[in-house]
Amino acid sequence: MEKVENKESFEAKLEKINLVLEELKKEDLNLNDSVKLYKDGVKLLKEAKEILNDAKLEVYEVESDDE
């Protein structure tokens, strides 16, 4: 698995995801802006998931080194 450099922390990604969700809740949001925000949110979620997967892999490697 190729490790991707994550410039932002997992917590920063979650904060941005929450901001996207708050924006999507606004009633005066037009369709184009809604779609853009949705795409941004999906991208952020994928990046956050990748960070979690990388961390999980590191934990497995540490655990296997201890055995």
Q: What is the pLDDT of residues 6-28, one digit of tens each?
A: 478 999 999 999 999 999 999 99
Alpha carbon distance 7, 4 (integer Å): 9
Give 8's DSSP letter.
S
Q: Are 6 and 47 in contact (CB under 8 A)?
A: yes
Average pLDDT, the chain: 90
* pLDDT over 70 percentage in the chain: 88
37 CA to centre of own chain: 14
Helices (H), ranges, the chain: 10-24, 31-66
